[in-house]
Structure 1
Amino acid sequence: MFQNLLNSCQNAFFNDILGNWQVHAFDPAKGFSFESMKHNWERNEVGRVRLLTQCRQLYTLSHASLCHQDTVNTSLLAPLFEFIICHYWQDQRWIFSLNDDLDVLDTKTDAYAMAFVLLSFSHYYLATEDKRATQYIKATHDFLQNHMRSEFGGFDECYPLDRQLVRRQNPHMHLLEGYLAAYKATEEPEYKDQIDTLLELARDTFFDPETSTLREFFQSDWSIHPSDGHLIEPGHHFEWIWLLHEANKVSPNPMNLNISKSLWSVASKYGVSDSSGVFNQIHAETYEILDAEKRIWPITEYLKALCVIELKNDEKVKRFEKALAFLKNHYFTNDGRWNEYLDKRDIPKDFPLPGTTTYHIFLGLHEVINWSQTEFTK
């Protein structure tokens, strides 16, 4: 049953969803990915074309070209990379977005988006050996260090600094992901040093040992945000579980694995519905469900966490089967599209197809495929 479900989800994503995106969601003349698509595969103009979206597409196609070669039109890679460096790298830093006509819209430099520059350029380099990618990785790292380091630790949300913004763990989680990829691609010691620094920040600041939860929102000095500090996301708990295990391969530390177990104990108990959907949001102290709707990305992070968390094999396989069945039956459609949101009753909501989502689906299924190949060939 497990293998049949995995094969079905694998075909639905790689052959249908990713195939459709490559055919319909790229501008053939300019080489960029559209920000959003309608369900009839027409471009959905939303007023902006973000660096984040372009980088997530570059990552997905680059990584897939390394591991699932027959599913990727590799001729899309170089034009997309060129589009990114030509349009978003301005005045020696990355800008946030263009408008629908591809004129500059928002010139701030966003820490969250920079994480995906690191991730996507690392995989693009591994896929193409284009050394310019490593040069931009170094320039991105240098800008973060020289212009975005916070006096309280970690990085500012954006440059120029906006002190009104709520500080979040989320950009730092993805920066850890980006630096892990950068270190794997280049073996530069300074990237490993940053991995260690981000892990220390997670242990000391984001992880709350009293509740075994991952806090999301903070004030500038990393104290819990007074109005939003109780809001936590099970999907991010699962994402951190996987990242902590990935980081442990580079920088072993039993404390990181202990934290991953604690995060699992809460997120798997209170963040997953009886049908194996993953709630958007719960309360950090009472574990009450605050948002019972279910976007697609949290269940893909649940799949990744399942790949690494220590469980009895029978329980792990059963959890995989329920989650894959939920993904197949509630999110994937028969016409090569997906449902981005489910309401609290697991009914799909009317919502377009964001260009940022294939990154999540790809990596979730990629990790399960790798796990199954390892587990069933022992």
Structure 2
Amino acid sequence: MMLEAEARWAREWLFDAALPLWWQAGADPSGGFYEKIALDGTPVIAPRRLRVQTRQAYAFIEGGRLGWPGPWREAAAHGLSFFMSHYRRPDGLYRCLVAPDGLPMDETADLYDQAFVLFALAHAHAAGIGDNDLVATARALQAELTTQRAHPVIGFEEATPRVLPLRSNPHMHLLEAELAWVTEGVTEPFEGVARAIVELGATRLVDPQTGAIGEYYDGAWHFAEGDAGAVREPGHQFEWAYLFRHAGDLLGVDHRAASDRLYAFGTRFGIAPDRRAAIFAVDAAGAPTDPRARLWAQTERLRTALVFAAAAPDGEVREAFVADAHEAFEVLKVYLDVPVAGLWRDQWLADGAFVEEPAPASSFYHILSALAVLLKAGGHT
């Protein structure tokens, strides 16, 4: 077992505090989920992003998989019905923002958000939540994305007509969503899209000099000019590293060398020496450019370190990954140390202070993704 005591702590935090709180206080009885919960435990009334509804639906499904005895099916269906009812546009893509009552506020169909619709539908299908048409709904969305947004060479455009720069981040989450469908044995058309995104990541998004993936690219998948093209987010190095490994297991494509380089770059350049937290951004050479440490980057480091440790042979290499995972978990606990158990802080500044703000619901997806791996590694599922 790896990190057994840490897994026990995480299970208690999830089952006794976080999942009950985000259902009882984080769900709007009239429909959908609130964007944030203030650190005193009261929900924040604000316009609702599509990504929050889809992520929260997933979070409760994952909680159910892990054994939470609460109403996870009801909670997931609560989010699923809201985003399916209020976000779908006439063309089959999904708008990014609605008012608390579900009225449209922004018709933009962000590529990133479409990825999370596909992701939530895959997990709802796996859990038997929703109607029998979820596969057809997902296939229709993927077909519309391909029709409207296919890049002329590989990958997807941000918008039609073209908007630059192109971004790696939506592709990362599209890959995650496609792999979720492949995991369920629904391969068409998702396996082909996943293979193409893996190829895009391995052959065009990675900087061959450093092994790191950037954030912004020109229309031909070269790094964007200026400062934008030099941005490297350590959290995304860990996230892509995990997805390359996951894709290898599911698709039989071996990009372990690329995965290892991504992890190494994130670990070498992305960890603040004082806080031991993964910072937000460095430049192409690894010099820090944004020393804020967001919560989500810590969870991605934790998940990837655990996955790499599980795959490593016994010895110093495995022990190093376990040590990384332990450090990432201890850092994560600093974010979770708030007066109302089950909430969190999001931004840890270079001076050691946290930004005083409500807990964003969007972080729960990252937390569940990491703690699911931790609980399994520690024998608590």
Q: State the partner residue of 2:307.
A: 308
Q: Report percent identity of matched pairs.
A: 23
* Superposition deviation, residue 157 in structure 1: 1.5
* Superposition deviation, residue 341 in structure 1: 0.9
Partner Cα distance (2:9, 2:354) in 1: 20
Partner Cα distance (1:97, 1:186) in 2: 32
* Superposition deviation, residue 52 in structure 1: 1.0
Kept in 2, the 8 Å contact 1:167–1:222? The answer is yes
Q: State the partner residue of 2:278.
A: 278
Kept in 1, the 8 Å contact 2:5–2:378? The answer is no
1:203-222 equivalences under 5 Å are 203-222=202-221
* Superposition deviation, residue 71 in structure 1: 4.7
Partner Cα distance (1:79, 1:71) in 2: 14
Q: State the partner residue of 2:229.
A: 229
The code of the aligned residue for 2:337 comes to F
Kept in 2, the 8 Å contact 1:37–1:353? The answer is yes
Partner Cα distance (1:204, 1:316) in 2: 26
* SS of the residue 2:282 aligns to: strand
* Superposition deviation, residue 257 in structure 1: 0.8
- Counterpart of 1:371 (choices 347, 359, 377) is 377
Q: Residue deviations 1:178-207, cap 9 Å, x none?
A: 000012224224211111111110011111
The code of the aligned residue for 1:174 comes to H
1:69-88 equivalences under 5 Å are 69-88=68-87
Kept in 1, the 8 Å contact 2:93–2:145? The answer is no
* Superposition deviation, residue 292 in structure 1: 1.4
Q: State the partner residue of 2:348.
A: 342
Partner Cα distance (1:82, 1:238) in 2: 32
Aligned CA distance change for structure 1 residues 334 and 42 (closer, same or farther; 3 Å): closer
Q: TM-score, normalised by structure 1?
A: 0.92
Partner Cα distance (1:151, 1:373) in 2: 46
Partner Cα distance (2:100, 2:69) in 1: 31
Kept in 2, the 8 Å contact 1:137–1:182? The answer is no
Q: Report the more deviating stretch, 9-18 or 230-239.
A: 9-18
Partner Cα distance (1:6, 1:359) in 2: 17
The code of the aligned residue for 1:194 comes to V
* SS of the residue 1:90 aligns to: coil
Aligned CA distance change for structure 1 residues 347 and 3 (closer, same or farther; 3 Å): farther
* Superposition deviation, residue 362 in structure 1: 0.7
Partner Cα distance (2:133, 2:80) in 1: 10
* SS of the residue 1:182 aligns to: helix
* Superposition deviation, residue 124 in structure 1: 0.7
* Superposition deviation, residue 42 in structure 1: 2.5
* SS of the residue 1:290 aligns to: strand
Kept in 1, the 8 Å contact 2:36–2:358? The answer is yes
Q: Structure 1 residue 45 and structure 2 residue 45: aligned? A: yes
Paired residues, what number?
369
Q: State the partner residue of 1:296.
A: 295
Partner Cα distance (1:107, 1:264) in 2: 37
Partner Cα distance (2:334, 2:7) in 1: 12
The code of the aligned residue for 1:241 comes to A
Partner Cα distance (1:4, 1:370) in 2: 12
Runs of at least 5 residues in structure 2 that lack an aligned partner in the other structure: none
Q: State the partner residue of 2:105.
A: 105
Aligned CA distance change for structure 1 residues 258 and 279 (closer, same or farther; 3 Å): same
Structure 1 segments of 4 or more deviating over 6 A?
A: none
Greater RCO (CA < 8 Å, at least 6 residues apart): 2
Runs of at least 5 residues in structure 1 that lack an aligned partner in the other structure: none
Partner Cα distance (2:249, 2:6) in 1: 29
Kept in 1, the 8 Å contact 2:335–2:346? The answer is no
Kept in 1, the 8 Å contact 2:35–2:44? The answer is yes
Q: State the partner residue of 1:170.
A: 169
1:322-341 equivalences under 5 Å are 322-336=327-341, 337-341=343-347
* SS of the residue 2:289 aligns to: strand
Partner Cα distance (2:93, 2:281) in 1: 34
Partner Cα distance (1:72, 1:279) in 2: 35
Q: Report the more deviating stretch, 56-65 or 166-175.
A: 56-65
User: RMSD over aligned Cα, in angstroms?
Assistant: 2.1
Q: Residue deviations 1:231-256, cap 9 Å, x none?
A: 110000000111111101122223x1
1:262-277 equivalences under 5 Å are 262-274=261-273, 275-277=275-277
Q: State the partner residue of 1:2.
A: 3
Kept in 1, the 8 Å contact 2:58–2:76? The answer is no
* Superposition deviation, residue 79 in structure 1: 3.0
* Superposition deviation, residue 7 in structure 1: 2.0
Q: State the partner residue of 2:157.
A: 156
Q: State the partner residue of 1:194.
A: 193
